[in-house]
Amino acid sequence: MRTLNDKVVVVTGGARGLGKAICKRLADDGAKIAIADLLDASETMALCGLSRDRILQKKCDVSSAEDIEALKVEVNSTLGSCDILVHSAGIFPTCPFDELTFELWRKVFSVNLDSAFHLCKAFIPGMKEKKWGRIISISSNTFYIAPPALAHYVASKGGLIGLHRVLAAEYAEFGITANTIAPMLTRTEGAEEYFAQQQEIFDMALEWQDIKRPAEAADIVGAVSFLASEDAGFITGQTLPVDGGTVKL
């Protein structure tokens, strides 16, 4: 079903992995897609199969307020103002706390959490004018299970959860919802590359899950599609674990 006919969606981290899969699913739902990523998003553009007036890619450092502002200008002028913001970009360098530098801490926060601040500042005003909007960020179920060597990552993803709870309260009167999705470790290009020599991390994830198979991007995108839809209009301020039953709230 084309549940998002002509809605304008901005997806960060859309060049590959989960972000690419999200772009494809929401394009199939009938949306116009703006892909924001530092990487080339040509593969995602081709995968979505949209006409040139319904999709764009913009090189964008999500930790940069200036890049986000430039993204907003291009989206507005090409597709129209953003209806649905999906923040999927993120980094996850493992590092024991004893070895964690403030420089690395700040780098992770700038990409994973500060970026959400800049994105919301840029795109919420347009949603307020329309009196309709969806803000969806990809958090992580590590906020609940707290694995070692990820203090910086877990803290940044927990910050996303807190931010969206407050956004939900402040913007409900404008028809805007704000929710997060908390996946388990998901087999995407980025995760595969990063953990190529650490199969035990994927094995450990399977031990925690009720559903004993690795998570794929396809397992996550349905939740994004639902939260972006009209059917989810009465759901806000929530975090949805999509993790094979690892976390039970």
Q: What pLDDT does 204 receive?
A: 74
Mean pLDDT, range 41-58, rounded to an integer: 97
Handedness of CA 62, 64, 67, 72 (dihedral sign): positive
Higher-confidence residue of 204 and 102: namely: 102
Instruction: List the beta bridge partners of residue 136.
Output: 86, 179
Q: Residue 55: left (phi > 0), alpha (psi -120 to 50), or beta?
A: beta
Long-range contacts of 128-131 (CB under 8 A, 24+ apart): 128/171, 128/174, 128/176, 129/81, 130/81, 130/83, 130/175, 131/174, 131/175
Residue with tokens 């899969």: 21
Find out whether 191 and 225 touch, Cβ atoms under 8 Å.
no
Instruction: List the beta bridge partners of residue 239.
Output: 180
Residue with tokens 């969206």: 164
Share of the chain above pLDDT 90, in %: 85
pTM: 0.94
**pLDDT reading at 195 higher than 70:** no
Nearest-angstrom CA–CA distance, 50 and 234? 30
Residue extents of the structural domains in the chain: 8-242
Output the six-digit token pair for 173: 């009167």
Catalytic site positions: 153
Alpha helices in the chain (DSSP H): 17-28, 42-48, 65-78, 102-109, 115-130, 142-145, 151-171, 189-194, 199-208, 217-228
**What is the per-residue pLDDT across 89-146, written as a single tens digit (0 to 9) for each?**
999 898 999 999 999 999 999 999 999 999 999 999 999 999 999 999 999 999 999 9
Output the six-digit token pair for 188: 């995407």
Q: Residue 187: left (phi > 0), alpha (psi -120 to 50), or beta?
A: beta
Nearest-angstrom CA–CA distance, 165 and 178? 7
Nearest-angstrom CA–CA distance, 160 and 139? 6
Higher-confidence residue of 39 and 3: namely: 39
Which superfamily does 8-242 belong to?
A: NAD(P)-binding Rossmann-like Domain (3.40.50.720)
Mean pLDDT, range 202-221, rounded to an integer: 87
**What is the per-residue pLDDT across 148-180, written as a single tens digit (0 to 9) for each?**
899 999 999 999 999 999 999 999 999 999 999
